[in-house]
Chains A and B, each alone.
Chain A
Amino acid sequence: MSAADKTSKKKSVRKSTQAALVLSAVIPGGIAGLSACLSATAQAAVAPSQTSPAAISERLESIRAAVSAAQEIELSGKTTSPADPSVEVAWWWRNGGWRNGGWRNGGWGNGGWHNWNNGWHNWGNGWHNW
């Protein structure tokens, strides 16, 4: 592996770890909590024509890998320990008061991903999401 490849791989691993840590802190807030966080950084998104199809697929895959990793962090309870420097971001954030739900007690495990289209667009179909 070339030095450039190694640097690129390190960056990628670091980015995905950061994503998992951020998610481990926000996912307990459920979909409503994540929506609140994300709205603050939303901007007119990059138009699909400007992003390659492969890049979109990769982004979705990497986000889901981060969700799985975040789920493990959440279940292991690591993020509740401010003494662990590896989870500093998540700890700092959680102390900011984001926690208002839970994987098992919020909008996630109880709706959300198990139906792709989640029904049909002429019905709001949100009854089990809140």
Chain B
Amino acid sequence: MVGVPTSMVVIQPTGFCNIDCVYCYLPNRSDKHVIALETVERVFAELFEGARSAPELTVVWHAGEPLVVSPDFYRAAFAMIDRLKPDHVCVKHSFQTNGMLINDEWCDLFLAHDVGVGVSVDGPAAIHDANRKTRSGKGTHAQTMAGIAKLRARSVPFHVISVLSRASLVDPQELLDFYLDAGIEQVCFNVEESEGSHVSTLFEMRDLPEAYRTFLTAFWQRAQASGRIRFVREIDLAIGRIFRPEEAEGHNIQVEPMAMLNVGSRGEVSTFSPEFLGLKDERYGDFVFGNINADSLDTIMARCLASPLYRDIKAGVAACEAECPYFSVCGGGAPVNKLFENGRLDSTETRYCTLAHKVPTDLVINAFDGLVAERAQQASAFSSQREPQIV
């Protein structure tokens, strides 16, 4: 097998979404086509028969609202994947959903299959409803919160992803209060980005990194002080990337061919950043390397390796490695952000890099320096207290 194994499959069960968020990057969110079970079967048969899967494989059902497809579809898909998988491979299914359709039947499915559930909610109603709207322009907060309440009532573990806007960035306490009131314990932040046809207004803010740093510091401290937030992705993942033994290797699966396999609802296969699927660019076409209904993964991989897309992503990673002191916590960034922010894949730093990697890394390193200094001071005070008193 060439390259690193596939550790994440992002499958678009349907491109359709029941809502129409202002910042959405998906171009085909009105397309109601649903992926065929035969297509799903082809993906996993190829993946497992070709021994391409990593021992832990995350399957994310996303890129459209996954819950508009019936629970029966997933029950059948999960059973089929389970039949196909080798014993040594552990498959974890995950949904990223707007939460509006969650009911008891969905909770039964989540619990029965230990599904990872991520709910997209941006905060209190005023913040959430400013961007997350129905097609008729109405807010979706109430329905999302009803879904979260159902998850809590049924003890289904979940995390939330909140897109940060100008309004939420300035008030970390308001956001924290919202999570605490809603019983949300695991949070992830995405700063509104420029991707596809969406141009982020937030990225125009000149002092965005400083504003984000201030936000994240305050949120982290207050969340820890509350004792009720168990996971803040931006901090916890930064800690894992920074505090690793010297010999531990890292992989950035967004820049390794086929480390992430991204499958569209009609079987089209892409790799690297999942957001590429469905987008078009005059240099790289539709970012698709084949269709799983007609092509083997070996063929798709060969096309990928020979593509200008891979060539330019590789050049961008090499440039990052040569120039950027944060390379060891990042591994070359997110290609989709390089393309849509810098206009080139063979470029280096993006605003996304600054926010997703640099700010949390600086914050954690700075905190660690403070911790070491504080403990040294305490040890010194402790030692001097134990010294015999001269009378």
A67→B236 contact, CB < 8 A: no
B368→A127 contact, CB < 8 A: no
Residues of B within 8 A of A59 (CB): 365
Binding site for A on B (CB under 8 A): 7-8, 10, 56, 58, 60, 62, 92, 94, 96, 116, 118, 159-161, 186, 188, 190, 209-210, 213-214, 217, 220-221, 223-225, 230-233, 235-237, 239-254, 260, 273-275, 324-326, 328-331, 334, 354, 356, 358-359, 361-368, 370-372, 374-376, 378-379, 382-383
A116→B251 contact, CB < 8 A: yes
A31-B240, A54-B325 are known; give 4 further A-B pairs, CB within 8 A: A15-B372, A35-B220, A38-B367, A53-B324
A125→B325 contact, CB < 8 A: no
Enumerate 11 A-B pairs (CB-CB under 8 Å) in ascending A order: A38-B368, A40-B371, A57-B328, A88-B379, A111-B240, A113-B243, A116-B250, A117-B331, A119-B7, A120-B8, A126-B188
Say if the beta carbon of A18 comes within 8 Å of chain B: yes
Kindly state the separation between the CA atoms of A99 and B89 in the bound complex, as whole angstroms: 32
Kindly state the separation between the CA atoms of A122 and B17 in the bound complex, as whole angstroms: 16
Q: Closest Cβ of chain A: how far from B108's Cβ, in Å?
A: 19
Residues of B within 8 A of A116 (CB): 241, 250-252, 329-331
**A window 23-55: CB within 8 A of B:** 23, 27, 31-32, 34-48, 51, 53-55
Residues of B within 8 A of A40 (CB): 221, 224, 371
Q: Contacts A22-B375, A68-B245, A113-B241; is A123 near B368 (CB within 8 Å)?
A: no
Q: Closest Cβ of chain A: how far from B2's Cβ, in Å?
A: 19
| Chain A interface, >50% SS class | helix
Interface size on A, residues (CB 8 A): 64
Q: Which residue of B lies closest to A23 (CB)?
A: B243
A115→B251 contact, CB < 8 A: yes
Kindly state the separation between the CA atoms of A126 and B92 in the bound complex, as whole angstroms: 11
Q: Which residue of A lies closest to B63 (CB)?
A: A122
B371→A41 contact, CB < 8 A: yes
B367→A92 contact, CB < 8 A: no
Kindly state the separation between the CA atoms of A77 and B320 in the bound complex, as whole angstroms: 39
Kindly state the separation between the CA atoms of A110 and B243 in the bound complex, as whole angstroms: 14
**A window 93-130: CB within 8 A of B:** 93, 108, 111-130
Kindly state the separation between the CA atoms of A102 and B62 in the bound complex, as whole angstroms: 34
Kindly state the separation between the CA atoms of A15 and B263 in the bound complex, as whole angstroms: 49
Kindly state the separation between the CA atoms of A130 and B242 in the bound complex, as whole angstroms: 18
Kindly state the separation between the CA atoms of A56 and B369 in the bound complex, as whole angstroms: 12
Kindly state the separation between the CA atoms of A121 and B378 in the bound complex, as whole angstroms: 39
Residues of B within 8 A of A42 (CB): 217, 220-221, 363-364, 366-367, 370
Q: Closest Cβ of chain B: how far from A95's Cβ, in Å?
A: 11
Q: Which residue of B lies closest to A120 (CB)?
A: B274
The 4 closest A-B pairs by CB, nearest first: A112-B240, A41-B370, A113-B244, A116-B250
- Residue of B56, B251, B368, B370 with highest tally of chain A CB at under 10 A: B368
Residues of B within 8 A of A120 (CB): 8, 10, 60, 253-254, 260, 273-274
